[in-house]
């Protein structure tokens, strides 16, 4: 383990509040990704970033926002507009835009009540 | 966009038997097909991958086969062991020249290896 970290491991929030999930990597990877994992649905791509100050929407970006101000950091904000935010969130990174293999962080389990 | 279907959703085998998990994809532009293993409470980890110019790839007890014409690929685990018990995900990605690799995942297969 190590290389890509997410904090906290568990996060609890009240409905209507925005919450930011942290993702940091020290692998010097250019590309970073956020996925959402729900039971029986596999992993779905929320946002991805190829380089600093650049990011694109994935398949389920509505209700989420990201920033990429530093190469090693790619925080995800779950906004109050996300209708069903309770899920397991995974961050990943890959070497550069031409690299296929993605390395995953340990994940953050978000519960919104 | 790409759509990946994975079967079965659960699979139970006895220790020493083989396990096969199958995936189909829809986008003919996909050319990279990884398999990830996720143990309970842990992060997904790449176990094997295959590119479209190869029909089969082996790594010890694990093998992946790809049929681009039929748009399906399979994971084969031989001589299964209890530590193979986990959820396995297949994924597909199109040619990513100029973009990050956008993986579309299957819904996962929970493999249980019984003694």
The pLDDT tens digits for B49-100 are 998 888 999 999 999 999 999 999 999 999 999 999 999 999 998 766 555 6
Alpha carbon distance A55, A91 (integer Å): 14
Instruction: Estimate to the nearest angstrom the gap between the alpha carbon of A89 and the chain centroid.
Output: 6
Residue A39: partners with Cβ closer than 8 Å, 6 or more residues away: none
Judged by CB atoms closer than 8 Å, whether chains meet at B46 and A101 is answered as yes
| Distances A17 to A8, A37, A44, A67 between C-alpha atoms, Å | 17, 21, 23, 19
| CB B36, CB B91: distance < 8 Å | yes
pLDDT digits (tens, 9 = 90+) for B21-61: 999 999 998 989 999 999 988 899 999 999 888 899 999 99
Which of A42, A46, A61 should one mutate to test binding to chain B, selecting the residue with the greatest count of B CBs within 10 A?
Answer: A42
Chain B interface, Cβ < 8 Å to A: 1, 6, 9, 32, 34, 42-46, 49, 89, 91, 93, 96-108
């Amino acid at each position: 383990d190590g290389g890509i970290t997410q904090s906290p491991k568990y996060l609890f929030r009240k409905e209507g509040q925005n919450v930011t999930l942290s993702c940091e990597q020290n692998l010097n990877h250019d590309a970073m990704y956020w996925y959402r994992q729900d039971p029986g649905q596999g992993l779905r791509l929320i946002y991805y970033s190829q380089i600093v100050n650049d990011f694109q929407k994935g398949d389920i970006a509505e209700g989420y926002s990201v920033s990429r101000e530093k190469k090693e950091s790619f925080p995800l904000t779950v906004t109050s507009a996300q209708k069903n935010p309770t899920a397991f969130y995974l961050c990943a990174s890959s070497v550069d835009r031409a690299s296929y293999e993605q390395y995953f962080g340990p994940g953050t389990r978000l519960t919104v009540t | 966009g790409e759509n990946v279907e994975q079967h079965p959703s659960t699979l139970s085998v006895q220790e020493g038997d083989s396990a096969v998990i199958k995936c189909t994809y829809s986008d003919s532009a996909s050319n990279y097909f990884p398999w990830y293993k996720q143990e309970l409470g842990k992060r997904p980890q790449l176990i094997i991958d295959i590119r479209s110019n190869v029909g089969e790839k082996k790594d010890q007890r694990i093998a992946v086969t790809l049929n681009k014409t039929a748009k399906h690929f399979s994971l084969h685990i031989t001589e299964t062991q209890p530590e193979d018990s986990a959820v396995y995900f297949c994924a597909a990605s199109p040619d990513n020249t100029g973009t990050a690799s956008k993986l579309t995942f299957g819904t996962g297969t929970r493999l249980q290896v019984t003694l």
